[in-house]
Amino acid sequence: MVEDILKVFGITAQQSGVSTGKHWLPAHGADIISVSPVDNKKIATVKSASREDYDLVVAVAQEAFKVWRMWPAPHRGEVVRQVGEALRQHKEQLGKLVSYEMGKSLQEGYGEVQEMIDICDFAVGLSRQLHGLTMHSERPGHRMYEQWHPLGITGIISAFNFPVAVWSWNSMLAWVSGNVCIWKPSEKTPITALACQRIVETVFVANNVPEGVCSLVTGNREVGEWMAHDTRVPLVSATGSTRMGKSVGAAVGERLGRSLLELGGNNAIIISQDADLDMSLIGAVFGAVGTAGQRCTSTRRLIIHESVYDAFTARLVKAYSQLRIGNPLDQHNHVGPLIDTAAVAAYQQSIEQVKQQGGTFLVEGGVLSGAGFESGCYVKPCIAAVENVYRIVQHETFAPILYVMKYQTLTEAIAMQNDVPQGLSSAIMTLNLREAEQFLSQAGSDCGIANVNIGTSGAEIGGAFGGEKETGGGRESGSDAWKAYMRRQTNTINYSTSLPLAQGIKFDL
């Protein structure tokens, strides 16, 4: 199956990971071997970029920007529309490849490609709406307005858990805005990036898009560091851990560049005494075990009213007993593997810390072995009764570990929800209008995303995506997130016969 998919995208067993969107360049860096967590089989070997390879790609991108920025935005949008059509044609193959290389369920793999298609549609419409404002001038015979111009090169550093969708959030908006992009994909999922590059370059070549508008530079951490320190890259969009984001943010900030950071989450759902418990169960379970707990929006904590705590946790335990764990390409399975054995080790360490810090398990965890689990990356989703102040609860573990805790008043629950370093996604399950409005008020959730009667996971592309505090403060995808990829310019035009100064200043010669 995988071999056939690789053939569709023209990916060979030994493949360069450096492309300018028109040519695949010889790469001179280290080999990156992509191994599937599903069955521990090698997918392909990718040759990564050396510093010289990286510098060549940046130079080509700089020249491409001079041409691409002059294309009318609707024409750029038409190219992105065609990218969306190409993704539609390859949805099944790319979705399977995402599932196999990353380990998420096949339905989630298909969903990730659909998210790419959706952002293409959004960007096409946006290409005709990159609007500014007009303002009344205090000076007679003057007109003021503001407009938006592209920044230049957008550097994109993506994470393994959404190996293609988050790249598309950035690239599609950056392209219609007139920017060029250089993508550094996760070294854990390079093959899906190669497939996307093949899809896009076919469209770009057919439309005579300048070489360098869409570039790929595969590599390890050092490639991201080159990008973060590179003054030729005015915007770096980085998705990953808070630790990584702090490093990128510091490097980009030191050179007064711009960074768009999408970092860790420690997301909670408040289960009210007035909640629909059936609805709450679906939201909590999917949020906790979807993508094997490896989403930045995964549900990590359930803050449950004491009056429904016993009833709801009993339902939760029963639901966990019905989860099917196994090959994610089998659509009967709910939970696939973690990305690699290092993630499994972090999962095991977190379980031990829960026990050491006083937590008790309602559903025990563990690593699965035997037939179908030979890769060593399959683990049991588990549930621990804890206190919010435990050090491990304050930390984001990228694994299916769900923490449950009690509350008495909504004010207390909101304080518990907010009392973690991260601030990405949050939710409350309640049929009480007052509770819902309090949760969404200025004194409510401090997260970038706050939901009522849906879970923390599964954002739509129409809204701006991102969070506060150690989540980084960036916003991607919908709403006016496009402004992050552009620079604002204020213009004043004098069409009078004199030159009056602002603030009534007199300067006569």
Q: What pLDDT shows up at residue 458?
A: 84
Q: What pLDDT shows up at residue 1?
A: 81
Angle between helices 190-206 and 165-176 (to 10 degrees): 30
429-442 exposure pattern, b = at least 16 Cβ within 10 A, e = fewer:
bbeeeebbebbeee
Averages of pLDDT over each 10 residues, the chain, 509 residues: 93 97 96 98 98 98 98 98 98 98 97 98 98 96 97 98 98 98 98 98 98 98 98 98 97 98 97 98 98 98 98 98 97 97 98 98 98 97 98 97 98 98 98 98 98 94 97 97 98 95 87
Assigned fold of 2-263+472-489: Aldehyde Dehydrogenase; Chain A, domain 1 (3.40.605)
DSSP H or E stretch at residue 97: helix 91-102
125/490 Cα distance (integer angstroms): 24
Residues tagged active-site: 262
On the 0-12 / 13-18 / 19+ scale of CB atoms within 10 A, 290 is buried
In which residue ranges of the chain is CATH 3.40.309.10 found?
A: 267-461
Superfamily of the domain at 267-461: Aldehyde Dehydrogenase; Chain A, domain 2 (3.40.309.10)
Q: What pLDDT shows up at residue 508?
A: 82
Q: What pLDDT shows up at residue 391?
A: 97
Q: What pLDDT shows up at residue 509?
A: 79
Q: What pLDDT shows up at residue 482?
A: 98
In which residue ranges of the chain is CATH 3.40.605.10 found?
A: 2-263+472-489
